[in-house]
Amino acid sequence: MGLGNSVLPARQRRGNALETLDDLFRRFEYLNDIGASLSDEHDFNCLLEKITVAAKTITRADGGTLYLLSEDKRHLHFEIVRTDSLNIAFGGTSGNPVSGKFPDLPLYRENGSANNAMVAAYAALSGKTVNIADAYVAEGFDFSGTREFDQRTNYRSQSFLTVPMRNHESDIIGVLQLINAHGKSDDVVGPFSEADQRLAESLASQAAIALTNRQLLYQLEELFESFIRLINAAIDDKSPYTGEHCQRVPELTMMLAEAAHEANDGPLADFRLTERDRYELRIAALLHDCGKVTTPVHVVDKATKLHAIFDRIKLIDTRFELLRRDAEIRKLQFVVQGLSTEQAEAEFREFAARLEVDRDFLRKSNIGSERMSNDDIERVRSISRNYRWRNVDGTESDFLTADELENLTIRAGTLTHDERETINYHATATIRMLEQLPWPKHLKNVPEYAGGHHERMDGKGYPRGLKRDELSWQARMIGIADIFEALTARDRPYKEAMTLSQALAIMDKFRGNGHIDPDLHEIFVSSAIYRKYASEFLDDKQVDC
């Protein structure tokens, strides 16, 4: 397209006063400094803002707008808008969102042709810088929107410097537009000089690379977190009973971490978290149970003591029915042999009643909700010895198999010693899995944080038996979150969901017996972390304090 006088001749761009060497050196030094600063910025919105402010500073522009190319490469999206003299600031750290204030700039018309009438669109499509001395007399571009803006704000948009942002792969990723160059005087608006243009182009190139690198890092982080969520989903899909555990523990961990960060006195007064620290802890909390991918499903889902692929209490019920049937046959045989019907019936009823009582006792023992006493364990063994039955081979056997007897005499819970070891192995598996990964510097502590959540302050935990002073604050935080989530979870097969008061009473006991960190427990209680967690994740009926 014909640009007419919209692109300044070199002589006019220089203006009446040549740039002094001192001024150029100063601006070059600033350009170098801002380049290093852009590389160090990790927040994407702050990075966009830094680029815009730096471009305004280095060219002495009153206003600046930064556009990014949309994913479909058909629009420019406003990201940062700044005009100093009008006190306009949108995007970045301004607190004023761009979304909804400025519509996207289309790169193509409805008929599919290039929207070259818009200077920012032309720069994005052509990859060329456009330097305009005065928008009101420029030819080849549509500045009607600029004129309307000026009328509304009593502003005079004059000089424009529009620079495409090209990354290291020569792809256009956005456009940087600067308005109203002030030169050396804040009162006089003039054209952007040739030095302004070259400096802005250099900054735009550095900025595009910094933005692309930040976007790539963000995408890698998203990919990494998506992979973690995939692992957690696989773990959760293995068991309907712990389906939200991997999601809830990180939330509770971060609530406790923030409360510890805000502590101004006590042992955690100096504990502070940077954004990188928070990210590292969150990743560790997300991965704290990744080792459960190695845990067999039948152990994870063991809702009762005899549960395997199915609850084997049904087999024992069947044996009781066989014993009842055999007793009924004996009753009839006794009657045939001359025993009185009344006596035979009485003996049968007595035996059947005893069967029913013992069957109910084994059913209750199978649930595992209450701790079994020595008498209870001996009664299970007595039932196994005293009742005899013939198996499918016709062999007379003890009523309970050795495996059934072992399971039904578990003192607490539903897991045998070997099954408990299998469950506990997930902590070892977690550490082994995580230690094999090539963690970057800012995530190097993830294995220790994630692998230490089953350790105890008194050294009686697992898998390494570490004591309090051998564990980081972060590992102790995940430990508290893991316990409290398990106590209040409403999806466990072996227990009902606890109320807050019940869970807090157990947590207090754990603090006293060396199970959890007392200082973190104090913050957990004094900052009412449990209430915040309850409001988001617990049923109303659980909230009783």
Q: Does residue 368 sit in the same domain as residue 480?
A: no
Q: State the residue range of the domain holding 389.
A: 313-414
Q: Has residue 371 been placed in a domain?
A: yes
Look at residues 266, 226, 287, 320 and name the one whose alpha carbon lies nearest to residue 431.
287
Q: Has residue 234 been placed in a domain?
A: no
pLDDT at residue 4 in the model: 34
Q: Are strands 388-390 and 88-90 parallel, antiparallel or unpaired?
A: unpaired
User: Tell me, what amino acid is at 90?
Assistant: F
Which of 182, 216, 250 represents a domain boundary (last residue)? 216
Q: Does residue 45 sit in the same domain as residue 183?
A: yes
Over residues 174-211, the pLDDT tens digits come to 999 999 998 766 678 999 999 899 999 988 988 888 88
Q: Does residue 406 sit in the same domain as residue 535?
A: no
Q: Does residue 266 sit in the same domain as residue 393?
A: no
Q: Does residue 190 sit in the same domain as residue 243?
A: no
Q: Does residue 38 sit in the same domain as residue 124?
A: yes
Whether the predicted pLDDT of 246 surpasses 80: yes
Give the mean model confidence (pLDDT) for residues 317-324. 90
Q: Does residue 147 sit in the same domain as residue 89?
A: yes
Whether the predicted pLDDT of 493 surpasses 60: no
Q: Does residue 77 sit in the same domain as residue 136?
A: yes
The number of folded domains in the chain is 3
Question: Is 38:207 a contact under the CB 8 Å cutoff?
Answer: yes
Q: Has residue 251 been placed in a domain?
A: yes
Q: Does residue 32 sit in the same domain as residue 158?
A: yes
Q: Has residue 173 been placed in a domain?
A: yes
**Average pLDDT, rounded, for the chain:** 87
Q: Does residue 271 sit in the same domain as residue 317?
A: no
Q: Which helix (H) or strand (E) holds 145?
A: helix 144-153
Whether the predicted pLDDT of 402 surpasses 70: yes
CATH of the domain at 510: 1.10.3210.10
pTM of the model: 0.66
Q: Has residue 42 been placed in a domain?
A: yes
Q: Does residue 63 sit in the same domain as residue 189?
A: yes
Distance separating alpha carbons of residues 365 and 360, to the nearest angstrom:
9
pLDDT at residue 184 in the model: 65
Whether the predicted pLDDT of 339 surpasses 60: yes
pLDDT at residue 239 in the model: 65
Q: Both tokens of residue 319? A: 């044996």
Q: Does residue 320 sit in the same domain as residue 288?
A: no
Q: Has residue 243 been placed in a domain?
A: yes
Q: Using pLDDT thresholds of 50, 70 and 90, give the confidence band for residue 60.
A: very high
pLDDT at residue 216 in the model: 87
pLDDT at residue 6 in the model: 40
Whether the predicted pLDDT of 86 surpasses 90: yes
Q: Both tokens of residue 43? A: 């927040």
Q: Using pLDDT thresholds of 50, 70 and 90, give the confidence band for residue 99.
A: confident
CATH of the domain at 27: 3.30.450.40
Which of 354, 387, 414 represents a domain boundary (last residue)? 414
Whether the predicted pLDDT of 23 surpasses 90: no
Look at residues 106, 101, 54, 108 and name the one whose alpha carbon lies nearest to residue 79.
101
For every residue of 19-61, DSSP letters joined together read PPHHHHHHHHHHHHHHHHHHHH---HHHHHHHHHHHHHHHHTE
Over residues 254-310, the pLDDT tens digits come to 999 999 999 999 999 999 999 999 999 999 999 998 888 877 777 766 777 777 767
Q: Has residue 494 been placed in a domain?
A: yes
Q: Has residue 70 been placed in a domain?
A: yes
Give the mean model confidence (pLDDT) for residues 90-110. 91
Q: Using pLDDT thresholds of 50, 70 and 90, give the confidence band for residue 492.
A: low
Whether the predicted pLDDT of 51 surpasses 60: yes
Whether the predicted pLDDT of 524 surpasses 90: yes
